[in-house]
Structure 1
Amino acid sequence: MSYVHAAHTALSAAFFLIILSGLAAVVYHYLGGALGTLLQPTFLFKWVLIFVLLLAHLVQGRMQTWNIVVYGFAGGTWYALFLVHSVAPVASWETLGILYGFWIAFFGLVWTGFLLLLRGGLHLHFSLPAMPSLPPLPIMHKKPVAVAVMSPVVQAVVPPKIVLPPPPPPPPPPKPTPLFLPVPQPIITKKIPMAPVPVFDDYGDLPALRIMPQRPEDIVRHDRPAVVKFAGR
């Protein structure tokens, strides 16, 4: 029953959306000045089908048990509403009513057939040709498999490695003999006396020097010739 209540609640929400969109379409055509579209038999017939479905929905909500007729009629009306809304035929009220009646009758037959199939009322027998029996499969004997015998692995004996003693260290190199070089004797040089510096007198051929006289008696000597002559010449 929980599934039935959930389906009933979802169907109620669908009715609300359908009626809301239909009213919006009416307002749109009315404001657009398309009053002829609102008075078409097809447009009004859709509202009639919506009203019939709403009544069936209210009846289904009040029923305590499953009613095959009510659910079949509601299902056929739902499909009729979808067809009229999708095809939108230009027809009169009489034509739409006749088509609706034929459609409900056809859907009722299909609905009844499905119910009988689900409840097991109809038993369908299908004669299938007998399949020939297959011959038994031959038994395959496995051939003996020769098992290879592995010979034991003999490990070769490795002789121990002879470790030779390390060679003796080489002898140290001989120490170098010191070299004794002869010490040279000091060279004694004779001092050569220097030649005496000649002293020149006041009469040479040297230019006289003008020296400032320091004493009064030097004035006489100051006034001498510019060239000094030596005495021996």
Structure 2
Amino acid sequence: RGGAEMTLTELAERWGFLEESLYLEQALTHRSAAPHPHSNERLEFFGDALLNLYVARLLMDALPDAAEGVLTLARASVVDRETQADAAQALGIPELLRIDTGGQKMGIAQQTRLLSGAYEALVGALYMEAGEAHALAFVKATLEEPLQAVIQNPATKHPKSRLQEALQAQGRKKPEYRTSTTQPDTVTVSVEVLCEGLVLGQGTGRALRAAEKAAALSALAHLTEPQPGSIL
């Protein structure tokens, strides 16, 4: 089922929170709705540290021969605001966040910074309530796609930079990114990457930068493994 349909009870049951979890409630409370220390800021601080640790652990296990520099950049590719905001969107967090009335009217529940913070707070809250095994499983499951992408294609540079360099090496122009038309009821952004008018790859995400990264990875996959009839 889609993330937008998730209820607070379902979220709690799915990931191992208590039925009426105070940690879960706090993780979903923006500072505009509750004063310090009752907002999610402290849990966000804790979750950020845990997230870096868990992603590092998962990458160490999956890439036993990778050098430190590759691991560092791979972790940064997964632990960034856009990726975390995408995960929060998929969990239905925008509909569950507690924000003051003014913030609700402004639609700040959709902001990348706020969503990434709520995601980090959930990691911290789950650790506090259910322990490390649950928190690690949460990170592994909710960041599965970006983790697998970077594990399958570890690199020392951002996909967009790598694509531009690959095209320049072929004497071609810089790639251009074009946002595709999306349905009004969808929370995803679709992006095409083009070079000299030809579509090289496509990607989707719940933030523009995440969609552009996915499109660049798609184009790079065709560059490294050309398919019959490919424009590359």
Confirm or deny a common fold (TM above 0.5): no
Question: Of the two, which has the highest radius of gyration?
Answer: 1
Class of the TM-score when normalised by the shorter of the 2 chains: under 0.3
Higher helix share: 2
Structure number with the higher strand fraction is 2
Under a length normalisation based on structure 2, what TM-score does the superposition of the two structures give? 0.25
| TM-score of the superposed pair, with normalisation by structure 1 | 0.25
